[in-house]
Structure 1
Amino acid sequence: MLKLKNISKTYSKGTIKAVDNIDLDIKSGEIFGFLGPNGAGKTTTIKMIVGLLKPDTGQVFIDNIDVWKNSLEAKAKISYVPDNPEIYDKLKGIEYLNFISDMYGVPKNVREEKMNYYSEMFNIKEALGDIIGSYSHGMKQKLVLTSALIHDPQLFILDEPMVGLDPKSAFQLKEIMRKRCDEGKTVFFSTHVLEVAEKLCDRIAIINKGKIIAMGTMEELRSHAEERESLENIFLGLTE
């Protein structure tokens, strides 16, 4: 479902290598966790996957479609939830959801069903008639999550999705992620909450200073690490 081939990205006129020759191959039906310290290259990698940043070298494929050669076809298969929900403050919540639905060509009956389902689940249904600028950070995050699920993407990409969510909504999001992968869809997400990654992910990659330094299931990560208990111990041992 998602394949990265020799992806690299530099900043500051080539002096800072944010992502250094990354290869990833992520299957359908998989929850894939992408972990790393601050500044390790996680968000840069994600922005290259979703087509917001162009790699200096390498290719990104979504369901065998080149993200840069067939951009619209590739992006139709994904949803992206960024680490900060920067959305249109002057729109009402319902207007934003309809705008996203229009972009993806979601029929009226389908969008209404999805809007009702997810807005009730995340407890923002009563606020959909309000201006987004009046929302708290957590409410904006819930609105973005709702909008990202309306067109039922094959690949769900999330950058720090738990930030700002209350415990109930965070639990519901984890349930959604697991259910989607049980249906054969794919989730790729970055998080600093290592306990969530340990319990939820089928496989995990750890990036540090732009390079993948470990990848595999929890058992595979344990087998190659001196600390063989928690993901937190493995992560700290590898990155420090």
Structure 2
Amino acid sequence: MQPPVPYDPHAAVSIRGLVKRFGAKTAVAGLSLDIPVGSFYGLVGPNGAGKTTTLNMVTGLLTPDMGGASIFGVDVWRDVNAAKRMIGVMPQQSQIFDRLTGLQLLVYAGMLRGMKRAETVARARDLLAAFDLVDAADKMVVDYSTGMVKKICLASAMIHSPRLLVLDEPFESVDPVSSANLKDILAEYAATGGTIIISSHVMALIERMCTHVAVINRGSVCTAGTVAEVAAGMDLEDRFLQLVGGRHAAARLDWLDGSGNPSDGTGPAVTQGARAER
């Protein structure tokens, strides 16, 4: 269904009025957003804000209840196969066949995209070299470290040379060395004109890597624009907290004292509830 407000035909991703409900819960509430071509776009928001649900609908993995999205002018839900050919979605570890070797997984990913086997193998070996995984090419992915799994998942999303990369928390649980390597490869991809959407809770990462950012809360966009525009002269994390709220004074737990004074182990500690009863 065509949205009331037309898509932006010049945007890499144009989202209009996306709605998704799960029972009585509204996960995404009429979300609209335009993501420029060639941007490194960050989506940030608290847990449960609707970021992953939005990305799943944009990439054709989840049917919206209302609204829609276009990828480089192609309506996702009118021609989902054409849209998906332009997208590389980084899978989660639970979504891959980890009993394959790294090389086998990349070849499988490429051939699923309709690539010829010879070309797929050649690209797979290029990616293994780029991600420092040559020595692990013939090792089953189930035996990879967390950082190695993240790299092979990103490589599988890139093998068909997509115009758009969609990454949901790509640096979660990744060691600093692997994280630095991933960032370098993403920066090179962006330099070629590729568009990247990254969902993350790490504000410092978004502020350092992204050109644009959208703050999402309760299924809607609070604000969006360049990182400088959204930050509005503040540290991005402080601006984020200002927009979404939810920060409160530290809870006072009378029994929590690192000095050991509230209780020496010989008697019960005094709790807030006990104090209130006195």
TM-score (norm 2): 0.79
Matched with 1:172 is 181
Write the deviation string for residues 36-85 of structure 1: whole angstroms up to 9, x where unpaired: 01111011011111111111000111111111211111101011114545
SS class of match (1:178): helix
Residue identity (%): 35
C-alpha RMSD of matched pairs (Å): 1.7
Distance in 2 between residues matched to 1:172 and 1:137, nearest whole Å = 14
Matched with 1:93 is 102
Matched with 2:79 is 70
Matched with 1:161 is 170
Distance in 1 between residues matched to 2:54 and 2:231, nearest whole Å = 25
Check the 8 A contact 1:28/1:181 in 2, yes or no: no
Matched with 1:4 is 15
Check the 8 A contact 1:82/1:160 in 2, yes or no: no
SS class of match (2:95): coil
Check the 8 A contact 2:20/2:26 in 1, yes or no: yes
Matched with 2:216 is 207
Highest CA radius of gyration, 1 or 2?
2
The change in CA–CA distance for 1:166 and 1:222 in structure 2 (over 3 A counts) is closer
Unaligned runs of 5+ in 2: 1-11, 246-278
Distance in 1 between residues matched to 2:207 and 2:109, nearest whole Å = 32
Matched with 1:125 is 134
Q: Which is further off, 111-120 or 123-132? A: 111-120
What does 1:107-118 correspond to in 2, within 5 Å? Answer: 107-118=116-127
Quote how far apart the aligned CAs of 1:188 are: 0.6
SS class of match (1:117): helix
Q: Which is further off, 228-237 or 39-48? A: 228-237
Check the 8 A contact 1:208/1:239 in 2, yes or no: yes
SS class of match (1:5): strand
Distance in 2 between residues matched to 1:188 and 1:118, nearest whole Å = 20
Unaligned runs of 5+ in 1: none
Distance in 2 between residues matched to 1:56 and 1:116, nearest whole Å = 41
- Alignment size in residue pairs: 234
Matched with 2:202 is 193
Q: Which is further off, 102-111 or 211-220? A: 102-111
* 1:238 and 2:249 aligned: no
Distance in 2 between residues matched to 1:222 and 1:99, nearest whole Å = 42
Runs of 4+ in 1 over 4 A off after TM superposition: none
Check the 8 A contact 1:31/1:201 in 2, yes or no: yes
Distance in 2 between residues matched to 1:43 and 1:66, nearest whole Å = 20
One-letter identity of the residue aligned with 1:162: F
